[in-house]
A and B are shown apart, each in its own frame.
Chain A
Amino acid sequence: MRTLSTLVVALLIVGFSSLAFGAQNEETAKSWQEQATGTRAQVMAVYGQLEEMGDKDNDVAKDLIADAVKQLGEGDKFMKKGDEAMEAKEWEKANYGYNMAWQYYVKAATAGLNAKSILAGQ
């Protein structure tokens, strides 16, 4: 099983290393898309680990996992908006969609990592 620290490093590298947004053009939209996509992948990795660990019937961990799933869902909605805007070459909207998706994925990661921390200490 990958350790928490490995996961965090992975999140760092994929989720935060390619930030370039501000000029509102195709390049920045792609950069935000890449960032959001990468962060989502890492959130899913956390989720996979949590599945592997099981929730151990821990209500607190269950609640956090539910929150992570909800945040992930919200992120996915914005991801879709970003993709649609990208398709329509509306770079500003695409930037916004991917940025918001990423914001939600970070929240999902926070909740998931806290759940993992609780389960690891149980």
Chain B
Amino acid sequence: MVTRKVLGLSSLVVFLMVGMLMVSCQNTDSTDGNQAESSSKASTAGQNGNLSASADQIAAERNLSPKDVEAALKTYMPSGKHDEYLMFSSGGHSGQVLVIGVPSMRLLKVIAAFTPEPWQGFGYGSEESMKLLKDGDMKTGKELRWADTHHPALTETDGEYDGEFLFINDKANARVAVIDLRDFETKQMIKTPNIISDHGSTFVTPNSEYVIQASQYATPLPFEEYAPMEEYQEKYRGLIALHKFDREKGRIVEEGSFQIELPPYWQDLCDSGKKVSEGWIFCNSINTELATGGIGQGLPPFEAGVSQRDMDYMHVINLEKAAEVAKQPGKTTEISGVKVIPLDVAISEGLLYFIPEPKSPHGVDVTPGGEYLVVSGKLDTHATVYGFDLIQKAIKDENFEGKDVYGVPILKYNDVVAAQLEIGLGPLHTQFDNEGNAYTSVFIESTLAKWKLGPPYNTGEDAWTLTEKVPVQYNIGHNVCAEGDTVSPDGKYCVALNKWSIDRFSPVGPLLPQNFQLIDVSGDKMQVLYDMPIGVGEPHYVQMIKADKLNPFPVYPEVGYNPGTMSVDPDAAKAGQEKIVRSDGKVEVWMTGIRSHFNPEHISVNEGDEVTLHITNVERARDATHGFAIEGYNINLSLEPGESSTVKFVADQPGVFPFYCSEFCSALHLEMMGYLLVEPEK
């Protein structure tokens, strides 16, 4: 049992000295001027001795242990200092993306991705955001206004995060969004044809040529077709979508995109091969039993049916070859306007192979050099490691144990497994560091397990050994380590993405936040440093990038910039050229905003007029954002410095409606307003 000790003065002093030294050492390695300054101040304070005495008192009063103080020293970020890493986290049910600093664990921004978000004026009238949301609706026109974001994927160059774009999926509706990291705004939303749910998404190839999206719950293909459950094996299918990404356009494009039909084994997480395995992709599956549930009819529920077999199938897909096949005439079928490689073609062309993998796997993670694939079956206790070279040899030798019911060749398990480690109860996902270690989340026992990879990372007795586990609170899902799924992970920090927080935070009713726990992995022993509650949804996966790889705009490059096109909008209002133009039943306004007024301030229209406002924030000062809200009309825009936006609406409510700046911008912010006067129809 752990007994918490209150620090004595002497131990605290020693501890703080160590802490200061650590801060100092960290800064030696850093080129960040802010951090160097911080180090200097800390050392000075330590030398004066003032900090020690006061800190001792604080620690005593707050009942902080030496470990607590050490953790605080490792995470505290003085005002004005910046974090070394940024995490991009799925926002779960919020349908958004969270941006979080590491090690401070401060929430920096919530990026509106799939759901309306008023602060950013996303979905509250601006033409740009309304179009995006519409693009993500069902093709029947059914509006989708919630999303279950799961797996963010940063663009990569040669397998390294490049900080240019971010992709995020919506598991609930099989959608993908593209976020431009120049302004941290969503630029594209795609409702992927043919599938209606996805889990294994988004993942990118090492140069982001493709965004990978695998379906999860099998349906008829396309999902709009009807087939009863009795026809599951015959008519239901899985699918993997390969979205071609045009980096120059910053968009997923139709040309070059294609899909591959798969058996109806709920495809789960995927990963892209890297370095030696580049050109291949790997996806798990979890229902090779072809279970169809039916608890209401007295049949075994999915939870039992889907976990019957010892093994499921990892899907090994030759992407490079598939892309070539997709271009060949007669090799694809068009479904819902998309090229689909049918399953029989995928088999005959040697695009798809199966490998038995421990039951109900959840993670497949490729090592930094691409040599190994780590799979953890959540109902198995092991991390099973497959050798890419062994897989290639087995395919070349056509060394199969047989075929599945759909005719897909199955490689012999024993021929392709390089190692298997006893990890713990319910292992899920694995990330890597820069010293040949792997970190696997272990759900049921609530731990993060650290273990050593084999050659070339470690050799001899060190190879493939479990070295340490640290308890986390509680029920860890994914974990993330600094750049831990790239070709050159950094180590330093991992974060446990815990599904349950139970007692970690002040009670806030029965719905509790998730718990992100920052873990220092730089020393001999892992140390939990910080608990961060996430109270906006259930985040699923996170990527952690070095902050200096990002290069966002401080303000938009030119006045009149349209974030939708990332260029100056020809319709943008210009300072000194504000105007109102009226024609039959239409009113078009060119308006500017600057601290602390809009121009024009009076807009008079008739009931029933179609009103179009082109509004430009002509500010060039950093952070001089203006909002534009019209009361009673459900309209709110966010106009960042230089931004131009357009809003259209019908003045269908007569009366007088103030409009105002909804972002506190200046001392006279309250005065930054105007009136929309809607004269009743005569």
Binding site for B on A (CB under 8 A): 5, 8, 11-12, 15-17, 19-22, 60, 64, 95-96, 99-100, 103, 106, 109-110, 113-114, 117-118, 120-122
Q: Could you give 9 example pairs across A and B, Cβ below 8 Å?
A: A12-B422, A15-B425, A19-B379, A22-B310, A64-B502, A100-B300, A100-B303, A100-B304, A110-B475
Q: Does B292 belong to the interface (CB within 8 Å)?
A: no
Closest 7 CB pairs of A and B: A22-B309, A60-B503, A12-B381, A99-B304, A16-B381, A96-B300, A21-B308
Which residues of chain A come closer than 8 Å to B310, judged between CB atoms? 19-22
Which residues of chain B come closer than 8 Å to A103, judged between CB atoms? 303-304, 307
| Main DSSP-derived SS at the B contact region | loop
> B425 touches which one: A8, A21, A99 (CB < 8 A)?
A8
Number of interface residues of B (CB under 8 A): 30
Which residues of chain A come closer than 8 Å to B300, judged between CB atoms? 96, 99-100
Question: Of residues 302 to 341 in B, which have CB atoms within 8 Å of A's CB atoms?
Answer: 303-304, 307-310
Question: Of residues 88 to 115 in B, which have CB atoms within 8 Å of A's CB atoms?
Answer: none
B226: min CB distance to chain A, Å: 29
Q: Does B599 belong to the interface (CB within 8 Å)?
A: no
Question: Of residues 461 to 485 in B, which have CB atoms within 8 Å of A's CB atoms?
Answer: 469, 471, 473-475
Which residues of chain A come closer than 8 Å to B380, judged between CB atoms? 16, 19
Question: Of residues 1 to 28 in B, which have CB atoms within 8 Å of A's CB atoms?
Answer: 1-2
Which residues of chain A come closer than 8 Å to B446, judged between CB atoms? 110, 113-114, 117
Total A-B pairs, Cβ < 8 A: 70
Q: Does B663 belong to the interface (CB within 8 Å)?
A: no
- Asked whether, in the complex, the Cβ of A8 is within 8 Å of the Cβ of B424, the reply is yes
Binding site for A on B (CB under 8 A): 1-2, 289, 300-301, 303-304, 307-310, 359, 379-381, 422, 424-425, 443-446, 469, 471, 473-475, 500, 502-503
Apart from A16-B381, A17-B381, A118-B502: 14 A-B pairs, beta carbons within 8 A: A8-B425, A11-B445, A21-B310, A22-B310, A60-B502, A99-B308, A109-B444, A113-B444, A114-B474, A114-B475, A114-B500, A117-B473, A120-B1, A122-B1
| Main DSSP-derived SS at the A contact region | helix
B655: min CB distance to chain A, Å: 54
Please name the residue on chain B nearest to A78 by beta carbon: B304
- Asked whether, in the complex, the Cβ of B379 is within 8 Å of the Cβ of A16, the reply is yes
Task: Report how far A8 CA is from B469 CA in the complex, Å.
Answer: 12
Please name the residue on chain B nearest to A24 by beta carbon: B308
Which residues of chain A come closer than 8 Å to B474, judged between CB atoms? 114, 117
Which residues of chain A come closer than 8 Å to B379, judged between CB atoms? 16, 19
Please name the residue on chain B nearest to A113 by beta carbon: B445
- Asked whether, in the complex, the Cβ of A118 is within 8 Å of the Cβ of B303, the reply is no
- Asked whether, in the complex, the Cβ of B2 is within 8 Å of the Cβ of A11, the reply is no
B667: min CB distance to chain A, Å: 48
A61: min CB distance to chain B, Å: 8
> A22 touches which one: B303, B308, B425, B473 (CB < 8 A)?
B308
Please name the residue on chain A nearest to B469 by beta carbon: A5
Q: Most A CB atoms within 10 A — which of B307, B424, B445? A: B445
Which residues of chain A come closer than 8 Å to B443, judged between CB atoms? 110
- Asked whether, in the complex, the Cβ of B445 is within 8 Å of the Cβ of A8, the reply is yes
Which residues of chain A come closer than 8 Å to B502, judged between CB atoms? 60, 64, 114, 118
Please name the residue on chain B nearest to A122 by beta carbon: B1
Please name the residue on chain A nearest to B1 by beta carbon: A120
Please name the residue on chain B nearest to A28 by beta carbon: B308
- Asked whether, in the complex, the Cβ of A12 is within 8 Å of the Cβ of B473, the reply is no
Please name the residue on chain A nearest to B423 by beta carbon: A12
Task: Report how far A100 CA is from B308 CA in the complex, Å.
Answer: 10
Which residues of chain A come closer than 8 Å to B303, judged between CB atoms? 100, 103
Task: Report how far A117 CA is from B474 CA in the complex, Å.
Answer: 9
Which residues of chain A come closer than 8 Å to B289, judged between CB atoms? 22
Please name the residue on chain B nearest to A63 by beta carbon: B502
- Asked whether, in the complex, the Cβ of B444 is within 8 Å of the Cβ of A117, the reply is no
Task: Report how far A118 CA is from B309 CA in the complex, Å.
Answer: 35
A20: min CB distance to chain B, Å: 6
B492: min CB distance to chain A, Å: 25
Which residues of chain A come closer than 8 Å to B2, judged between CB atoms? 120-121
Task: Report how far A19 CA is from B360 CA in the complex, Å.
Answer: 12
- Asked whether, in the complex, the Cβ of B424 is within 8 Å of the Cβ of A95, the reply is no
Q: Most A CB atoms within 10 A — which of B303, B381, B469, B500? A: B381
Please name the residue on chain A nearest to B502 by beta carbon: A60
Which residues of chain B come closer than 8 Å to A16, judged between CB atoms? 379-381, 425
A108: min CB distance to chain B, Å: 11
Which residues of chain B come closer than 8 Å to A17, judged between CB atoms? 381
Please name the residue on chain A nearest to B447 by beta carbon: A8
A1: min CB distance to chain B, Å: 9
Which residues of chain B come closer than 8 Å to A99, judged between CB atoms? 300, 304, 307-308
